[in-house]
Amino acid sequence: MESDGRYREIIENIEDGYFEVDLQGNYTYVNNYICRYLGIPREQLLGRSYKVAVDKDSKKEVFEIFNNLYKNNLPKGTFESQVIRSDGEIRTFEGSFYLRYKNSGEKVGFYGFTRDITEKKEAEKKLKQSEKQLREAYDRAELYKDLFYHDINNILTNINIAIELSEKYLIEQQKESEINEYYDIIKNQLARGAKMVANVQKLSSLDNSEMSIKVINAIKFLKDAVNFILVNKKVREIDIVIDSFQDDIFVQVNDLLNDVFENLLINAVTYNDKPKVEILIKISKEIQKNIKFIKFEFRDNGIGISDEIKQTIFIKRFNKEKGSRGMGFGLTLVKKIIESYKGKIWVEDRVKGTYSEGSNFIVLIPEAVN
């Protein structure tokens, strides 16, 4: 019929693929688009199964989609599949299809439209990657900003306390040794501030794909953090014990690990009302999902953390919402740093079931592979 001829002419010239298959999935008709993009002549496609061009990983999925339409008499189906061209190139196609009926209403096959969306998928993939990189860049910028703000405030507070105590002792006789100690604290804090500025500047300029991860002796960093606490918290009696399974332990981190250890120790001292602050740092090994971690446990005899607060203590700005003295903000930074190492942190009761007997902050950091 003339109308059938005009219909076929339109189908042959549209910028989409058009196909017809019988109930066994064999092609009964394909237009020029499909032949051109598959690189297979029409005579080689007709009578053959759709599987001739569909990637093996897509065959089962495509079958189930068509079968679902057939069994449930759905008005329309859609699919996306990997297709192998005659030259071996793998392309991505998407399409929609419908049931074909005889005049009697009997189902005889399917017909549908399809198009090559390979470039579109690649563009979407690149866009998602760009969005991911932008998000990572933003998160890192936030981390460095918060780190800078938090540590600068700590440094300035320590310097201010040292100056006030020095001024007090200046009017008293035979207090030169105490004054010299506070001057040492001031110099130490100034050096720490300069180092922190240099680290933040260096790390913030790195490409997003890098985190400056390297192999570091965690024991050295831990001892430096302990010494920092003992030197700068002389107004308290503090006993810190390191219980490690070996003298040198190597992990994959960066210089920000020092901030992690210092923040955890500062919190253990700050949130402790006992006459004597006691902190046990237990170090062991742990394997989770075939990944080897070094496990650091910071057990203190402080005021402890209730179960309710445990759920929110690592959330940014927790301290402002809860009216605390700043613990949450520092721990937010600690969590971000540890997660950048692909590590983990959480808090438990030092004595199980009795939070008021102190806290146990647990940190897992990937062990350096030899």
218 and 365, same domain (yes or no): yes
226 and 205, same domain (yes or no): no
Rg (the chain; Cα; Å)? 33
353: left (phi over 0), alpha (psi -120 to 50) or beta: left
272 and 341, same domain (yes or no): yes
In this prediction, what percent of the chain has a pLDDT beyond 70? Answer: 81
169 and 257, same domain (yes or no): no
Confidence of residue 327 (pLDDT cuts 50, 70, 90): very low
Structure tokens at 289: 């999902």
pLDDT in tens, 208-261: 444 578 999 999 999 999 998 888 766 679 999 999 999 999 999 988 898 899
**Position 189 pLDDT exceeds 90:** no
Give the mean model confidence (pLDDT) for residues 121-130: 85
109 and 139, same domain (yes or no): no
pLDDT in tens, 271-294: 999 999 999 999 999 999 999 999
pLDDT of 324: 37
| Boundary (domain end) residue, out of 116, 142, 174 | 116
> Which residues on neighbouring strands pair with residue 280, listed in sequence order?
241, 299
Residue 350 lies in a domain: yes
206 and 218, same domain (yes or no): no
pLDDT of 208: 41
> What's the domain range around 272?
211-370
Given the DSSP bridges, would you call strands 214-217 and 237-244 parallel, antiparallel or unpaired?
A: unpaired
223 and 355, same domain (yes or no): yes
What is the phi/psi pair of residue 190, to 5°? -65, -40
pLDDT of 171: 61
Confidence of residue 317 (pLDDT cuts 50, 70, 90): very low
DSSP 202-225: HHHTS-TT----EEEEHHHHHHHH
**Position 144 pLDDT exceeds 90:** no
Number of folded domains in the chain?
3
Select the more confidently predicted residue: 173 or 152: 152
pLDDT in tens, 21-62: 999 999 999 998 988 888 889 999 999 998 888 888 888 888
Counting every residue written for the chain, the total comes to 370
User: 104-113, 166-175, 304-313, 343-352: lowest mean pLDDT where?
Assistant: 166-175
Give the mean model confidence (pLDDT) for residues 103-121: 91
Confidence of residue 154 (pLDDT cuts 50, 70, 90): confident
246 and 136, same domain (yes or no): no
pLDDT of 321: 37
| Boundary (domain end) residue, out of 210, 238, 256 | 210
pLDDT of 1: 46
241 and 273, same domain (yes or no): yes
Given the DSSP bridges, would you call strands 276-288 and 291-300 parallel, antiparallel or unpaired?
A: antiparallel
Chain position carrying tokens 């201010």: 160
29 and 161, same domain (yes or no): no
Given the DSSP bridges, would you call strands 17-22 and 107-116 parallel, antiparallel or unpaired?
A: antiparallel
**Position 326 pLDDT exceeds 60:** no
State the burial class of residue 121 (Cβ atoms within 10 Å of its Cβ: 0-12, 13-18, 19+). middle
**Position 148 pLDDT exceeds 50:** yes
Q: Report the alpha-carbon distance of residue 28 to residue 22 in Å, rounded.
A: 7
Residue 311 lies in a domain: yes
User: 2-11, 192-201, 232-241: lowest mean pLDDT where?
Assistant: 192-201
DSSP letter (8 states) at residue 122: H
218 and 358, same domain (yes or no): yes
**Position 203 pLDDT exceeds 60:** no
Structure tokens at 294: 């070094």
Give the mean model confidence (pLDDT) for residues 143-161: 70
Give the domain CATH number at 112: 3.30.450.20
Select the more confidently predicted residue: 35 or 155: 35
Angle of helix 118-170 relative to helix 176-204, nearest 10 degrees, comes to 170
112 and 238, same domain (yes or no): no
Structure tokens at 225: 């953090």
Mean pLDDT of the residues in the chain = 82
Select the more confidently predicted residue: 159 or 322: 159
